[in-house]
Amino acid sequence: MDEGNKKNKTKKIFMISGIFLLVLLLIFAWLGFTRSGRRVIYRIAGGLIHKGLDTDEDIEASSVIIPYEKNTKKNEKNKAQAKEKETNNDDQVVKEEVIVPRIKPDPRIEDYVTNFLLFGLEANNADTIMIASVNTRDSTIKLTSLLRDTYIDMEGFNPNKLNAFFSLGGAKTFVDVVEDKYRIKIDGYAYLNFESFEKIIDYLGGISLELGEKEAKYLNTTNYISNRAYRNVKPGWNDLNGNQVLGYCRIRLVETIGGANDDYGRTLRQRKIVRAVFNKYKSKGLLDLIRISNNILGHVKTNVTQQQIEKTLENVIENKITNMETMRLPVNGAYEAPTKYQGVGYPLVYDWDENVIQLYQFIYLDTREEAEINLEKYK
């Protein structure tokens, strides 16, 4: 082969290589710098995440309420049958009254909010209960704690506390109760037990939490930290492992930093933990996130679909959601705590209207007036 042919061949190789690299760069630019390109990434990531989850076929978390159209058709049929009965009964002077049941609307749903019900199990009861809401209007994740002692009177069940309904009917019933009482659409749920919770914290490398003096003493002198070797926490900031964090989130009998007691302090601790996990997770690099996610996913039981995961990833990343806000239900001044109510011991009996109004203000960014109008629309 002469020198000219060699030069031409080398030139062609460089040209082909250059074109190939240019195509790769264009693909990476499209994936990274256009929304349609990033959707491909979200689709791939959503598929990997969904594949790793322990999916639950219990329900697709649709509303417990019968759709309006079905109720309407049923009522129209009842009216038609009654009218026919009146026509055929020529000798009957008094017409038979048809009682049409009140149609309860579906729970509230807005295109800028996605609600997930999160809960932890202890002995098949929901020990920790939260609603995580992804709001794209103000680019936040909103975390609402639901106290487990909330009094619930649900059709088809005896009156009971909120945390008992998972054991009474599984995730389907639990979602039904939350949708019906809190008047919001639940788009999906996820839950895990205590053992899985510990492992998830450890996979993250632990989290940092600030302990008060009473909290530190309590954890070191009780069995809330089940492994004795880890009963060595101190007042102030601590790097805690899974076993220590689990003990911390279950404390009820001593006050938090700031003075919250009982279950109110307990749910405050739980929200602090979720915030710390959120901050720790978002600080990780891509390779660490993939490794951690692969370890975590199998411990989470959920009915969330791959499409929901993709959409949530897109919402969080495209809207640059890095802030988390928290609240607790019931709100102060809108509940009673009798020793016994309708056969249930030590429940929290809500003023439901006031609590739902404030929930709507928090999750959906309503003004007070808008929340009151929406309450009438959805209750």
- Three-state SS string over the chain comes to CCHHHHHHHHHHHHHHHHHHHHHHHHHHHHHHHCHHHHHHHHHHHHHHHHHHCEECCCCCCCCCCCCHHHHHHHHHHHHHHHHHHHHHCCCCCCCCCCCCCCCCCCCECCCCEEEEEEEEEECCEEEEEEEEEEECCCCEEEEEEECCCEEECCCCCCCEEHHHHHHHHHHHHHHHHHHHHHCECCCEEEEEEHHHHHHHHHHCCCEEEEECHHHHHHHHHCCCCCCHHHCCCCCEEEEECHHHHHHHHCCCCCCCCCCCCHHHHHHHHHHHHHHHHHHHHHCCCHHHHHHHHHHHHCCCEECCCHHHHHHHHHHHHHCCCCEEEEEEECCCCCEECCCEECCEECCEEECHHHHHHHHHHHHHCCCHHHHHHHHHHHC
The neighbour count for residue 369, using CB atoms within 10 Å, is 8
User: Angle at the Cα of 180 (from 273 to 329), degrees rounded to 5?
Assistant: 35
Residue 300 is predicted with a pLDDT of: 86
What's the mean pLDDT in 249-261? 85
Residue 260 is predicted with a pLDDT of: 80
What's the mean pLDDT in 118-142? 91
Nearest in space to 173 (alpha carbons), one of 159, 192, 154, 194: 154
CA dist 82 and 158 (Å) reads: 34
pLDDT digits (tens, 9 = 90+) for 273-327: 988 988 887 777 666 766 777 778 788 898 988 888 888 877 887 888 888 999 9
Q: Is there a contact between 201 and 224 (Cβ–Cβ < 8 Å)?
A: no
CA dist 138 and 153 (Å) reads: 34
Inform me whether the pLDDT recorded for 220 exceeds 70.
Answer: yes
Q: What domains sit in the chain, N to C, each tagged with a CATH number?
A: 47-65+104-378 (3.40.630.190)
What's the mean pLDDT in 241-249? 95
pTM as predicted: 0.74
CA dist 76 and 103 (Å) reads: 13
Inform me whether the pLDDT recorded for 59 exceeds 60.
Answer: no
* Main-chain dihedrals φ then ψ at residue 2, nearest 5 degrees: -75, 170
For residue 145, what are the contacts with CB-CB under 8 A and spacing of at least 6? 129, 130, 267, 268, 270, 271, 326, 327, 328, 329
Q: What is the mean pLDDT of the chain?
A: 81
What's the mean pLDDT in 19-40? 60
C-alpha separations of 267 from 119, 271, 285, 325, 365 in Å: 12, 6, 30, 14, 23
- Percentage of the chain with pLDDT > 70? 75
Inform me whether the pLDDT recorded for 85 exceeds 70.
Answer: no
Inform me whether the pLDDT recorded for 89 exceeds 80.
Answer: no
Assign 90 a pLDDT band (cuts: 50, 70, 90): very low
Q: Measure the N-to-C terminal CA separation of the chain; round to a whole number of Å.
A: 86
Residue 266 is predicted with a pLDDT of: 84
Residue 75 is predicted with a pLDDT of: 45
Highest mean pLDDT (candidates 19-23, 78-82, 87-91): 19-23
pLDDT digits (tens, 9 = 90+) for 136-182: 999 999 999 999 999 999 999 999 999 999 999 999 999 999 999 99
Assign 18 a pLDDT band (cuts: 50, 70, 90): low
Instruction: Encode 164-189: b = buried (16+ Cβ within 10 Å), e = exposed.
Output: bbbebbebbbbbbbbbbbbbbbbbbb
- Percentage of the chain with pLDDT > 90? 49
Nearest in space to 195 (alpha carbons), one of 298, 274, 266, 270: 298
What's the mean pLDDT in 193-211? 91
pLDDT digits (tens, 9 = 90+) for 316-373: 878 888 889 999 999 999 999 999 999 999 999 999 999 999 999 999 999 999 999 9
Residue 60 is predicted with a pLDDT of: 40
Inform me whether the pLDDT recorded for 227 exceeds 90.
Answer: yes
Residue 130 is predicted with a pLDDT of: 94
Q: Is the peptide bond before 105 cis (omega within 30 degrees of 0)?
A: no
